[in-house]
Chain A
């Protein structure tokens, strides 16, 4: 499983020369040349990324089932129905609430916190041992493989047959009831979340490990000399200094939560019933299974809205880096 990396705090741009004195007597690179370099990429982006996003947003206002055209104006009815009248998407009528949106919330809470905890813990501990590279490689390995492969691997682990699935075999060996990890609606989401954590912790660990190595060694040494124990050092010194990389990793995990699809498609198809659906899967189901592209587009727009804060954050951070430089 691989996913988009995070935008970097960029290295500083070369300070632009004062206006009106660009390059002075030297040959002046023409603006046209600049445009030409950028143009092919821009064209591709506009046609295949920006225009479709506009089209999808407009699509949410219509129903038109056939041939994915614009028919039958609906205004924001699609959104209204999604958020108030679709039990598979958002069901607030019972406790605990259900629906795809709530599932993403579960992912948000458990996937992010556990990935961070495990990744941070591993990074901190592994730094001190000689076989760090082995540990890192073992944990990072799942990041390279496809979510489809992750799905198959974990289907095998979760198999309800204790002669096939290692988890149930261990349960049976311990005298406990075997579980239907993917067939039990109360367990299935957590089973999926943990499989994805398995595939994601490597990223957290590698990033934080690199960050830890970059911490000022003299500060840490001084604290040790002063008698602070490891836990205090971690809490008071390391953790605050790591807040930037941690936030960067958290954002990466957050993006994964909004976009998660492949593993659900492979392992459960949203099931049993609709209990393991997430919003990305709902978009697929409504558009391609139920033939309601306007409705599905509304889900896509909701995804975009949820991810927008990160987009803004990225842009802001990039800009502030430039100013600082």
Chain B
């Protein structure tokens, strides 16, 4: 009993679908990898990716080399899998100097000097601080590509005006504004530290607080393995963090924090149907908010930022910042050209003009920044008396993520801070 009809129906339908989709797919084939193209891997999506693509477009125009950008979902497993498969990308733009060290020790990265970027060339474009971060074992592997300040808090100027709030300069003033919002029946904060690996936002809260309570020297020692996480200063900073991140002051409470992503949190405050008033994350929030979340925002009027308040007056305003470094997995003339291009003033200027990033390149001038928000961030970075690199990004291997998970634990169980920290210390001991 042969049933032909279902087969025919299936084939006709499938054929139609295949034809339709293949036709559209062919009309949009991504660049083929051939001798004249390179693949760059990073984890930007949305507006950050668009900003980077402007830079690569200029590169392609100038050199004729195609750049294929690949967004990674979890960049550490992606890179590890591809290395194990013998198929790494040409260049990876890594957000974590700590991971550069791990890869360099594995022998997976090419030294910049072997690619034609001499130490002298690099010194002419970047300050020693940046160069040190991109090195491992005294050798340079990473070109600082973009930077951002992580010591700014985002707010709505029109809301501050309405309630006569002044920009808070101290933590207590910030707490007062928080409580004042709450008293008016508004949700003061939104925090996104859950899906899409957003737990890194909690690490930034912690780092700013820690720098302002324990000081730069201890900060450096903590994140380079010379101070254990069981030191009382760590628990102290974690506790201060829970003064704001708790069920009272954050949208949907701690569960909401764990259920919201970093970009979603921006939307909660600056989106078209906002639900909260204040948001903390780095300078890049401006670019994402303006270009991705809500294009009707007006910098300075409906979205602006102020620097992180001080906690201990004697420790003043250390600026915590982060940067991404471009490192090469393969060596070829195209790779060298790309890395060289990234380190030029021209590339830096294009990139910062998108408003998404700051450039660590000495030669990019302040006038290249497009709006008041970006200029303020550049100014903050340039004039920082104390600059500290994002601590969790300094941790080796994947411990930046593990630290984020530990902080997620902290906000859920503030009574267990000590045991959470000692568990984490056990894991990371000896890993540096």
Interface positions of A (Cβ within 8 A of B): 66-68, 87, 160, 163, 178-185, 268-269, 271-274, 284-285, 288-291
Contact = CB atoms under 8 A, between A and B. Distances in A.
Contacts of A290: 397-398
Nearest to A272: B258
Nearest to A293: B84
A184 B408 CA distance: 11
A183 B260 contact: yes
Given A183-B258, A289-B398, 6 more contacts: A180-B256, A272-B259, A273-B405, A284-B77, A289-B77, A290-B397
A160 B256 contact: yes
Interface string B174-210: 0000000000000000000011010100000000000
B179 to A, nearest CB: 23
Interface of B: 74, 76-77, 80-81, 84, 102, 106-107, 194-195, 197, 199, 252, 255-260, 273, 397-398, 401, 405, 408-409, 412, 423
Contacts of B397: 290-291
Contacts of B80: 288-289, 291
Contact of B252 (A160, A269, A274, A284): A160
A269 B423 CA distance: 21
Nearest to B74: A289
A185 B74 contact: no
A185 B412 CA distance: 9
Contact of B84 (A68, A269, A284): A68
B39 to A, nearest CB: 19
A290 B431 CA distance: 12
Contacts, number: 73
9 contacts: A160-B259, A181-B259, A182-B195, A271-B408, A273-B199, A274-B405, A291-B102, A291-B397, A291-B398
Nearest to B76: A289
Nearest to B81: A288
Nearest to B77: A288
Contact of A184 (B84, B258, B398): B258
Contacts of A179: 255
A271 B404 CA distance: 11
A268 B195 contact: yes
A273 B198 CA distance: 10
A272 B81 contact: no
B106 A66 contact: yes
Given A68-B84, A273-B405, A183 B106 contact: no
Contacts of B76: 288-289
Residue of A178, A273, A288 contacting most chain B CB atoms (<10 Å): A273
B258 A180 contact: yes
A26 B241 CA distance: 87
A262 to B, nearest CB: 14
Nearest to A267: B195
Contacts of B255: 179-180, 183-184
A289 B260 contact: no
Contact of A271 (B102, B194, B256): B194
A285 B258 CA distance: 20
Contact of A289 (B102, B257, B401, B408): B401
A267 to B, nearest CB: 9
A160 B412 CA distance: 18
B189 to A, nearest CB: 16
A163 B273 CA distance: 11
Given A66-B106, A284-B77, A290-B398, A183 B197 contact: no
B208 to A, nearest CB: 21
Nearest to A93: B419
Nearest to B102: A291
Nearest to A87: B423
A180 B252 contact: yes
Contacts of B194: 182-183, 271-272
A183 B74 contact: no
A126 B259 CA distance: 38
A160 B250 CA distance: 14
A68 B83 CA distance: 10
Contacts of A68: 84
A87 B416 CA distance: 15
B264 to A, nearest CB: 9
Nearest to B405: A273
A183 B77 contact: no
Nearest to A159: B259
A67 B76 CA distance: 15
A178 B17 CA distance: 40
B398 A185 contact: no
B257 to A, nearest CB: 7
A81 B310 CA distance: 43
A57 to B, nearest CB: 19
Contacts of A160: 252, 256, 259-260
Given A87-B423, A183-B260, A284-B77, A269 B398 contact: no
Nearest to A184: B255
A182 B405 contact: no
